[in-house]
Amino acid sequence: MFGRIIAIVIKELIELKRDKAARFHLVVPIIAQMVLFGYAATFEVYHVSTVVLDLDHSQESRDLLSRYAFSRRFDIVKVAQTQQQVTDTIDHSNAAVALVIHAGFAELLRKGQSAPLQVVVDGTNSNTALIALGYVDTIANEFAEDYAKQLAQSTLGVHGMRQVEVTLEQRPWFNEDLNGQWFFVPGLIGTLLLVVIVNLTAFAIVREREVGTLEQVMVSPIRPAELIFGKTVPFFLVGLGEVALVVAVAIFWFQVPFVGNPLVLLSGTALYLLSTLALGLLISTVCATQQQAFATNFFVLTPFFILSGFSFPISSMPKILQWMTYANPLRYYLVVIRGTFLKGIGLNVLWPQLAAMAAIAAVLLTTSILRFRKSLE
C-alpha cells in the first residue's frame, strides 16, 4: 500500500519538476502578490485631498490650517475664497475633505470659549471618510490643547495657578508603532496560501480527468484511496514550501517580527493545509472541466476571504454570518499566524484554533474522499 502511494507521490513530483510553467506560477506570482498586497493593503490613509476656506484670517486660524498642511495625512489641493468654491470642489471629487473656519474663530478662542471648525467629508468612500475624520479630530485636539496652555500662561503667568490636566498615556502591546503592515502581512500568508493550494488541488485533478489520464491510472492495481493520498501529499509538501517562502518575505522584506514558536506555527499550518487540500479535492469531485473548477473556486474562495476576519471584523457582521465563519479554516489560521508572529503565544492559548482546524479538515477530507471515490466509480 505505502509503496504504491510513494510511487504516485514520486510521479507527481517528477511531473512538477518537468513543468516549468507550474514552477514559475508557484513561486513568482505569490511573491509578487505578497509584495503588492503588503504595501497596498492598509487601514491607514495618507495624502487626503483637502480644500480649505479661512473666513477668519487670523493668526489662530492660520496656525490651525498649517497643522493640516504640514501633516502627511492631508494634502491641501485648493484654498477656496467662498463657500460655493468649497461645494464645487467636493461635488467634482477634486477633494475628499473640506475645512471651513468661520469669522470670529480667534475671538472665541481668546475669550476661552469653544470655536467651531466645520468639516465637510465626501462620504462616497465611508471607510476613508471615517478615518479622515479621526485624523481631523486628532489634529484639532492637539491645537486646542496647545492653545489652552498658551492662553493660561498669558493670562495667569508662568508662575500662576497650576492648570489641572488629565493626560492619556497610550501603551500599545505587540505593535508599539501601530504598523499596519505587521497586521496585514501575516494575514496575507493565510489568504494567498488558501488560493494557491485550493487552485492547485482542484485544477490538477480536474485536468487529469479532462485529458483522460486519471482513468488510465485507475485501471492499474492502485486503489482509489491510495490515489487520493498519493496526489494530495505532494500538494501538502508544496504548501509547506510556499509557507516557508512567504514567511521569509514577511520577515526579511517587510521586517515583521516573529517572536513565537516555529513548531506552533508549523502545527497550525499543517492543519490549515489539510483543510485547504480537502476543500480543493471536494471542488474537484463536483467539476468535470477546468472552466467549472475556475467558476467554483471563485464562488467558494471569495466568501472564505470575506468571512475570515482578514479585513472586515467578524464582530461587526450579522449574527448569521458570524456563525458561518466557524466553518472557515482561514478564520482560525489568521489567529494562529498573527498570534505566533506578534504575540508569541503558544499551544496553551491557540489549541482551540488548532482543534477547530483539525475538525474542519477531518470533515472535509472524509467528504472529499467519499465523493471522489463515488465519482471514480
- CATH among 3.30.565.10, 3.30.1490.20, 3.40.1710.10, 2.60.40.1180 for 48-156: 3.40.1710.10
Report the alpha-carbon distance of residue 242 to residue 27 in Å, rounded: 8
Q: Tell me how far CA of residue 100 lies from CA of 58, 107, 108, 213, in angstroms.
A: 13, 16, 16, 71
292 Rama sector, left if φ>0, alpha if ψ -120 to 50, beta otherwise: alpha
Residue-range domain boundaries for the chain: 2-41+179-376, 48-156
Contact 235, 200 (CB under 8 A): yes
State the DSSP H helix or E strand holding residue 207, giving kind and residue range, or none if neither: helix 180-211
pLDDT of the residue at 66? 93
Q: What is the mean pLDDT of residues 166-186?
A: 75
Handedness of CA 293, 299, 302, 308 (dihedral sign): negative
pLDDT in tens, 290-316: 788 888 888 888 889 889 988 778 888
Q: Roughly what angle, to the nearest 10 degrees, separates helices 180-211 and 290-306?
A: 160
How much is the mean pLDDT over the chain? 83
pLDDT of the residue at 125? 78
Q: What is the mean pLDDT of residues 86-93?
A: 89
pLDDT in tens, 130-175: 888 989 998 998 898 888 888 777 765 544 444 555 556 667 778 7
Report the alpha-carbon distance of residue 101 to residue 187 in Å, rounded: 42
Q: What is the mean pLDDT of residues 103-132?
A: 86
262 pLDDT tier (thresholds 50, 70, 90): very high
pLDDT in tens, 338-358: 999 988 888 999 999 999 999
Nearest C-alpha neighbor of 230 from the set 9, 11, 15, 13: 9
State the DSSP H helix or E strand holding residue 279, giving kind and residue range, or none if neither: helix 262-286
pLDDT of the residue at 215? 66
pLDDT of the residue at 39? 80
17 versus 377: which is more confidently predicted? 17
Q: What is the mean pLDDT of residues 346-372?
A: 89
Q: What is the mean pLDDT of residues 25-31?
A: 78
186 versus 232: which is more confidently predicted? 186
220 pLDDT tier (thresholds 50, 70, 90): low
pLDDT of the residue at 85? 92
Q: Which pTM does this prediction carry?
A: 0.77
Q: What is the mean pLDDT of residues 108-118?
A: 85
- β-partners of residue 53 are 80, 100
